Amino acid sequence: MNDSPPGCPLIDVAATYMPRLSETTSEPGLAAAVDQHAAAVRDALIPAQRGSRGRAVRREELADYVLGFTDWLAEVDWAEPAGHDFATLRLTAVCWLIREHDLLGG
């Protein structure tokens, strides 16, 4: 069951980019890149100076991050490439965080 609020941007990102996570199992370089992007997103949401080491990523915080990131992508007229660029790696990393922290509740 999905207990995310209607219109939650994580739902659309997961629907579009979650399948890309399967590519990381056969491509170690891609797995490392997604891991680095996930760490960067986590660091942006949970800065070390807040003393929240080990705190889980929260759905609302990640949703706000995704809204800002996708708004920026729209402003620059980004189009999803066939391969992997910064944006696809970042959105795939968001999916990794969604999965790891069970942010869609199911």
Mean pLDDT within 45-68: 81
Q: How many domains does the chain have?
A: 1
Does residue 4 sit within a domain?
Answer: no
Does residue 85 sit within a domain?
Answer: yes
Does residue 2 sit within a domain?
Answer: no
Does residue 3 sit within a domain?
Answer: no
Token pair for 92: 């795939």
Selection from 106, 98, 105 nearest residue 34 by Cα: 98
Q: Please give the model's pTM, rounded to 2 decimal places.
A: 0.86
pLDDT in tens, 71-83: 999 999 999 998 8
Does residue 105 sit within a domain?
Answer: no
Does residue 74 sit within a domain?
Answer: yes
Q: Residue 33 sits in which domain range?
A: 9-100
- Find out whether 88 and 73 touch, Cβ atoms under 8 Å: no
Does residue 49 sit within a domain?
Answer: yes
Does residue 96 sit within a domain?
Answer: yes
- The answer to whether residue 1 scores a pLDDT higher than 50 is no
